[in-house]
Structures are given as C-alpha cells and as structure tokens.
Amino acid sequence: MKATEMLHDRGQSLWLDNITRSMLDDDQIQRYIDTHSVTGLTSNPSIFDNAVATGDYDESIKAVSQQGLSSEEIFFNLATADLQRAADLFAPVHERTGGVDGWVSLEVSPLLAYDTAKTVEAAKSVHARADRANLFVKIPGTPEGLPAIEECIASGVPVNVTLLFDADQYRAAADAYLRGIERRVASGLNPAVGCVASVFISRWDTAVATSVPDELKNQLGLAVGLETYRAYRDVMESSRFQLLQNSGARMQRLLWASTKTKDPAAPDTLYVQGLAAPLTINTMPNSTLDAFFDHGQVGEPLARDGGDCDVQLQRFAAAGVDKKALALKLQGDGAASFASSWTNLLSRIDAQRPSAKRVL
C-alpha cells in the first residue's frame, strides 16, 4: 500500500495545493484522485500567477478581454471556470462524506485582507458565482478578516480561513467560526456550514534558518504544528463546540498548509510525515505529493497533548525566537506576498489584452 493511501485510510485528507487549466485538460488532477488518494484542492494568488505565466490562459484571456471586463473580472471568470471543473471532479467525495471532504478553494482579492466589509461582499459574490456546494471561499485570518469570517459563516458561505501561523491565530479563527455557527443556531438555520483553518508550517523554519543553532533547524514548524494541534483538540472537545454539534454543527477542520520543504538538506516529506493526524488535512504541491507517494513513511499520529512541543518551543525561545511576534510578522508578510502575487497576476492578464480593450 502506498503511503498516500495509508495516510488517507488513517483519517487524514490529502489535498493538492495547485491547479492549472492544463492539469484539468490532461486529467492530471483526476489521476491524483485515482492513484494518490487526493480528496480536495486548494489555490491561492501565487498559484494562479504561476499558472498564467505558463501561457495556458493566453487564448482565453484574449477572448474574454473582448467583453470589456477589467483584469480582475477576467481573472475571476477564468479561475471560477477552473474551480468549477475541479469541484465537479471532487463532487463524488463530497457527497460520499456528507460534505466533510471533497472541497476546492478560491480566494477573494488579497488587497481586501484588511477591509472587513469588502471582504464579506467579495466572499458572497465569489460563492454565488461559483455555484458549487463544495467550494470554499478563502479569507485571511487577519484581525480584520475574523469578523468577515463570522459573517460569512453566519450567512452560510463555506470558508477556508487562510494565513494562520500559530495556536493563538488558530483559536481566533475557531472562535470566529463558532460565533457564526452560534448565530445560525439562534436563528433556526442549518448549522452544518463547511470550514477549515489553514495553518502555514514551512515558513517558520525559513524565517529562523539563519538565526538558530544547527540542531534546531527545521524543527520550529513541527513544534508550532503540535502546539496548534493541541489547541484544535481542545476546541473540538470543548463544551461550547459539543453543544453546537448536538444541534448539527460540524468541526472546523485543521488544515496544514505550506508543507513543501524549503531546505534542500531536509527530507522532502518532512511536513507530511511529521503532521499526520485524523480529521485534519494536508494540502501540498505536486512535488511534495509525488515524493510522499513515492517514498513517504506513515508513523504515529500527532500526540493529543502536543507531545514535546513545549520543550521544543522553549529551546527556540532560549535561542532568541519571539514566537508571538514572529507569528504576527509571518501573517503580515504572507498577506503582503499574496497581494504582490495578485498585482503581478493582474499585470500579466492586462499585458495579454488588446491595448484598445485594456480596462484597469
């Protein structure tokens, strides 16, 4: 049995962190479903920026530009079409699991990361346009994003909370989700609204790579993951959630993101093998997924109590790492990076449009 199948059978969902039109056209995503036990898919502005740069969308951009749309409108038309196709591929999984799995994700404009009202408006528009029950709208878990997450959940819009980096940020996202569900229960509405909380892992180790001793390298991400998993279990087992669960609510699942190993000296499956746990998700790019399929190992699941995360995090504190401050910096840097990719993406689209039709 391949490691991907074994991990799936032990209760963790494997999602693909990538999408391009060519991957849809040549059935690569379907093959991942059939052979690699992939049960969902995520996307972000960087992924689409890279996809557009390949030239896959040149003809479509030229054709759509004749409608006089803005570059942003052209992007959402193209991305929505791709995500609808992907959602249809995962629809059987979504139906079989009763809506627990089989999701795809499309992000609102990263330029809205610090604007609550416009994020809510955009999220509702994206969800309505996609018209797929198994499509998450990605909203960053910034302080301004949290009330937008609550409002969207309360309105029945499934949300993938993105750009979370530690247990504190996860708990804030979980609280926003629970508030939205509590509002639905109070209003007599169906509380089964899908939601995942995406915690970014590898960027921790990249951030401290040159400032910690060699014996601590490539260990901070996993330690933060363990601490966050402990917080996840605390929320899952809380009386607050169990009360909502009794009314039909579902758990906001924990998703491990940014799980491609950045250090070539470290194992290429480090953040897959080290973050195995039931009722969680690991979304990974093609290279990491293929590596785990080829030579991954499935060990023991994460410890409910966080294992040795407190000891490990104390070692990093002693080495001068301010985890709380770094988490805030990583979130801010992540939002800025996605905004930059978004700007690049729109510039690429605009550059491919007939000059007479360019509308910014």
Q: Which residues are catalytic?
A: 138
Name the H helices within 261-308.
270-273, 286-295
According to DSSP, the β-strands at 253-257 and 280-284 are: parallel
Number of residues written out for the chain: 360
100-116 b/e (C-beta count within 10 Å ≥ 16 → b): bbbbbbbbbbbbbbebb
Distance, CA of 353 to CA of 103 (rounded, Å): 32
Give me 165's structure tokens.
Answer: 């980096």
Q: Which amino acid is at 198?
A: S
> Counting beta carbons within 10 angstroms of the beta carbon of residue 360, is it exposed (0 to 12), middle (13 to 18) or buried (19 or more)?
exposed
2-41 b/e (C-beta count within 10 Å ≥ 16 → b): bbbeebbeeebbbbbbbbbbebbeeebbeebbeebbbbbb
Query: Is residue 244 within 8 Å of residue 191, measured between CB atoms?
Result: yes
Q: Which amino acid is at 308?
A: D
Distance, CA of 328 to CA of 330 (rounded, Å): 5
